[in-house]
Structure 1
Amino acid sequence: MRISPNPLRGQQFPAVLLLVAAGLGLLFANLPTHDGLAAFLDFHIAVPGTDLDLSISHWVSDGLLAVFFLMVAIELRHELTHGELDSPRKALQPAIAAAGGVLIPIAVYLLIAGGDSSTSSGWPIPTATDIAFALGVLAMFGRGLPSTVRVFLLALAILDDIIGIIFIAVVFTDDVQWLQLGLAIVGVAVFWLLSRLLHAKGHTIIAVAMVIVGLVTWGLMYSSGIHATIAGVLLGLVMAPVPAGRTRHALEPTVNGAILPIFAFVAAFVVIPELSISELSPAFWAIVVALPVGKIIGISLFGWIAMRIRPKGADPALPFGDILAAGALGGIGFTVSLLLSNLAFDGDPGIRDQAILGVLVGSLIALVLSMIIVSARARFYRRTAAVSS
C-alpha cells in the first residue's frame, strides 16, 4: 500500500493552515471570548532561578518562533552554500530584485506614515516576504509555470529573510547587556562544536547536549536585550550540514503544523478598532499599500533591471510576466511582518493592533493579486505547451 506524503511537509496545506489560524485569531479576538483568551495570553510563566518571566504570548513570539528561525537559518545556509545563492552569478539577480522589494515598500511606508513620529518606526514592517505562504500560493495556482519562477521566488524570499533578520537584530535592539550577549556567543560556539561531534560520532547524548546548550543560548540571548529569535538564526547557521538537514526534516511538520499557526493565531488576536476609515492610523494605510503595491513595483522594476544587466553566462532572463508574478507573491508579508509589527510598536498597543490589521489586509490583497497573476501566467504556459505539442 502506498503511504501518502505528510501534507505538513508540502507547501499548499501549511499555507492554508496559516491563513485559517490568523482568521481564527482575529475572529476570537472580536467575540465575547476575548477577555478570557486575552487573560490566558497575558498569563506569565517564569523560569525559577533566571530572569525569564514571559507572558504566554511572548513565549510564543520569542520562544516558539525561535524554532522557526532556526529552520529558516538552516535553509539559508544550504542555499548560500549548495543552493540557489551559492555563487555571485546566481545571487545577483534575485539580490537586486530583493533590494527593490525592500527599498520601494520602505519609501511607500515613509511617504504615507513617515511624517508622524508615532508611526514612523514601522518602516521595516512591509519589507518581509513569507516564504511558506508565497510558495504555497505558487504551488496551488502555478501549475504549468517553469521551475525558474520558483527558483527566483525562493532566492528572493530567502534574501528578504536575511534583511528581516538584520532588522530584528539591529533596529529593534537597545540597552544591550554585553556580558549575556558574550555568553550567548560562547553558547553558539559550543553548539557549533557539538554539531561537528554529532556529525562525526552520532551519539544521542551529544544531540541531547545540543538541545540543552541551544536552550541556554536562547535564554542568554533574551537576557542580553537582543530579540531571542536571533539565537535560533545563529544556531541554525553554525550547525554542521548533516545534523542540520536532519534537524530541519524533523522540525518541519511541527513548525508548519503547530508553531507557525499558533504564532499566527496569537499575532492576529487583535480587536478591530471601532473607528471610521478616516480615523485609522497612517501606519495601517501605509502597510496596506506598501505590502501589495510597494512589493510588486519594487520587485518587478528592480527584477526587470536585473535581467537586463545580468552577467555574461548567466541563466536566460525571466519574462517580465514571471517577474510580475514573483513580485505579487512577495507582497504576502504575514509571519515576519506580524513579528515586526509587534516589535515596531511594542510601546503603543493601539497602533500595534492597527499595524497588525494592516499586515493582514495588505497580505490578503497581495494574496488575491498573486492568485490572479500566477493563474494567468500558468494558463499562458499551459496553452503554449498545448500548441507546441
Structure 2
Amino acid sequence: MSTNPPAKSKLFGRSSWTEWKRVADILRQETVGGMLLLAGAVVALVWANSPWSEAYTAARDFTFGPHSLHLDLSVGQWAADGLLAIFFFVVGVELKREFVVGDLRDPRKAAIPIVAAVGGVVVPAVIYAVINLGDSSALHGWAIPTATDIAFAVAVLAVIGRFLPSALRMFLLTLAVVDDLIAICIIAIFYTAELAVVPLLLALIPLGLFTLLVQRRVRSWWLLLPLAVVTWALVHASGIHATVAGVLLGFAVPALTRRGEAVSMAEHFEHRLRPLSAGVAVPIFALFAAGVAFGGLDGLAEALTEPVALGIIAGLLAGKAIGIFGTTYVMSRFTKAELDSDVAWIDVFGIAILGGIGFTVSLLVGELSFAEGDERGEIVKIGVLCGSLLSALVATVLLRFRNTHYRKVYEKETKDEDRDGIPDIYQGRSSSEDPLG
C-alpha cells in the first residue's frame, strides 16, 4: 500500500499548449495596441502643452450627433462612450471564453487571479479614500486607481520582460480581464447618476435579438452591427455608461464550438475585433483623454501635491502591489499551494507592481468622477499618468534583475528539437534536459 503523500498543487504552473498559443496571440496584439496607446498619449501630452494647445482643446470638445437621441457628444465623449464600447465588447467575449472553456472554468485555477484582482481593487480604493478623507467631493474618485491597463502593461513587458515565464504572463492577462469586469460593474453601479428605466428596458429587445442570432451562429455584420449600435444607444440613453452595453453584447457570444466549427463564435469575434480595439479604439481614446496642460514644472509640482493626485499615485503604485501580491501570497498559504520551480515570489511582486499601470479605465473613471470643467479632472490625468509611469519604472527595475533566469525558462519553454511546431516541454520530452534542474 502506497504511503506517498498527495502532491501539492502548483502555483503558476505551466498551462496546456493550446492555452499558451491563445494567450501568446492575444499578447502579441495587445503589445502592438499598447505601443499605439503610448503613442496616442505622448501625442496628446505634446499637443496639449504646445503653442497649438487651443487646437487640441477645440478638436476634443467639438460636438456632433443627433440631439434628439441624446447623442450630441463631443469628440472626447464619442471616444470614451463609443470607441471604448468596442474595447469592453472584446473584454466581455474574453471573459465569457475564460469562464466557459478557459482557465477560469476550473475553480482552483480561477481562485488566485480572481482574488488577486479583488485585492488589487480594494486596497488602492482604501488608500485613495484615506488620503482624501477630509474632502467628500474628492472621494467620488475612489475607483480611479483600481484599474489595470492590459495593453499598456503588456507593452512594457514587451520591452523589459519578453522572456518572462508564460504562467506569469497568463496570470497578468487573466488578472487584468477580471479587473476589467470589476471596473465595469463599478461604473454601472456607482457612476450612474440617473437611471431612465424605459430606454434600459427597450435595450433588452435588440440585445435579445443579437443574442438569438449569435446563438444560431449568424455572423452577418449587416444584421449584428445595427442591433449592437441600437443596444449601445439605448443603454447610453438610460444613464448607464454606454461601455456596459459592450460587455453585455460580449457575454451574449457563445464560447463553445459546435460540430463542424473550426473556431467558436467567441474566437471569431475576438480575432476580428481585438485589432480594432487595441489598434484603433484605445489609442484614439488615449489621444483625447490624456491631453493635460502641465503649466510648466511649477504647475506640475503643484498638481502633484494635491490629495487627489497623491491618492491616485499611491493607489496605483503601492495599492495595486500590496493588493495583488498580498492576496496572492495569502491564497497560496490558505490553499497550501507551492510556487512552480520556474517562479519566485519576487517575480510575482514585479507583476503586481506592473498591475499598477492603470491608464485607459482609470482615465475613464476619472472623467466620470468629476463634473466637466472641474479642475480636478486635469489633476486626475496627471495622477494617472505619473502613477502608471512610476509603476512601469519600478516593475522594470525588479523584473530586469531576473532576466537571466527568465531567458533560461524561455529556452526551456520554446525548445523544439523535432521541429514539429510544438515545444518539447508540452509533449513531456524535455525533463531530462531541463536547464534549470
Q: Using a 3 Å threshold, how does the CA distance of structure 1 residues 75 and 388 change in structure 2: closer, same or farther?
A: closer
- What are the Cα deviations for residues 216-271 of structure 1, in whole angstroms up to 9, with x where unaligned? 11110110000011111100111233333212211222222221111111111122
The total of aligned residue pairs comes to: 379
Q: Using a 3 Å threshold, how does the CA distance of structure 1 residues 68 and 135 change in structure 2: closer, same or farther?
A: same
- Please tell me whether residue 83 in structure 1 is matched to residue 105 in structure 2: no
| Structure 1 counterpart of 2:386, from 358, 361, 370 | 361
Distance 1:142 1:221 in 2: 40
| Structure 1 counterpart of 2:43, from 18, 24, 35 | 24
- Please tell me whether residue 146 in structure 1 is matched to residue 165 in structure 2: yes
Distance 1:158 1:188 in 2: 22
Distance 1:340 1:25 in 2: 18
| Structure 2 counterpart of 1:249, from 265, 271, 289 | 271
Aligned to 1:267: 289
For residue 175 of structure 1, give the secondary structure of its aligned residue in structure 2.
coil
Distance 1:388 1:315 in 2: 15
| 1:150 Cα deviation after fit | 1.3
- Please tell me whether residue 282 in structure 1 is matched to residue 282 in structure 2: no
| 1:14 Cα deviation after fit | 2.2
For residue 309 of structure 1, give the secondary structure of its aligned residue in structure 2.
helix
Distance 1:307 1:75 in 2: 26
| Structure 2 counterpart of 1:99, from 115, 118, 122 | 118
Q: Using a 3 Å threshold, how does the CA distance of structure 1 residues 308 and 220 change in structure 2: closer, same or farther?
A: same
Aligned to 2:85: 66
Give the RMSD, CA atoms, in angstroms: 2.5
* TM superposition score normalised by structure 2: 0.81
Check whether the contact 1:12–1:140 (CA below 8 A) recurs between aligned residues: no
Distance 1:101 1:9 in 2: 25
Distance 1:278 1:49 in 2: 42
- What are the Cα deviations for residues 46-88 of structure 1, in whole angstroms up to 9, with x where unaligned? 2275232111111111011111111111111111111121121
1:169-208 equivalent positions in 2, closer than 5 A: 169-197=188-216, 199=217, 202=218, 204=220, 207-208=221-222
For residue 129 of structure 1, give the secondary structure of its aligned residue in structure 2.
coil
For residue 104 of structure 2, give the secondary structure of its aligned residue in structure 1.
coil
Check whether the contact 2:30–2:150 (CA below 8 A) recurs between aligned residues: no
| 1:97 Cα deviation after fit | 1.6
| 1:10 Cα deviation after fit | 2.9
Distance 2:27 2:247 in 1: 22
| 1:186 Cα deviation after fit | 2.3
| 1:181 Cα deviation after fit | 0.4
- What are the Cα deviations for residues 276-326 of structure 1, in whole angstroms up to 9, with x where unaligned? 7356421111111110111111111111111111267x9859531121022
Distance 1:196 1:183 in 2: 21
Check whether the contact 1:112–1:286 (CA below 8 A) recurs between aligned residues: yes
Check whether the contact 2:27–2:154 (CA below 8 A) recurs between aligned residues: no
Distance 1:303 1:88 in 2: 15
| % identical equivalent positions | 39
Check whether the contact 2:29–2:278 (CA below 8 A) recurs between aligned residues: no
Check whether the contact 2:316–2:387 (CA below 8 A) recurs between aligned residues: yes
Q: Using a 3 Å threshold, how does the CA distance of structure 1 residues 371 and 186 change in structure 2: closer, same or farther?
A: same
Aligned to 2:428: none
| Structure 1 counterpart of 2:247, from 220, 230, 233 | 233
Distance 2:267 2:406 in 1: 34
Aligned to 1:334: 359
Q: Is the helix fraction higher in 1 or 2? A: 1
Which amino acid in structure 2 is aligned with residue 156 of structure 1?
L
| Stretch deviating more after TM superposition (51-60 or 360-369) | 51-60
- Please tell me whether residue 136 in structure 1 is matched to residue 155 in structure 2: yes
1:50-61 equivalent positions in 2, closer than 5 A: 50-61=69-80
For residue 272 of structure 1, give the secondary structure of its aligned residue in structure 2.
coil
> Which runs of 5 or more residues in structure 1 are unaligned?
none
Which amino acid in structure 2 is aligned with residue 246 of structure 1?
H
Aligned to 2:184: 165
* TM superposition score normalised by structure 1: 0.90
Aligned to 2:235: 221
- Please tell me whether residue 351 in structure 1 is matched to residue 376 in structure 2: yes
- Please tell me whether residue 297 in structure 1 is matched to residue 322 in structure 2: yes
Aligned to 1:323: 348
Which amino acid in structure 1 is aligned with residue 236 of structure 2?
Y
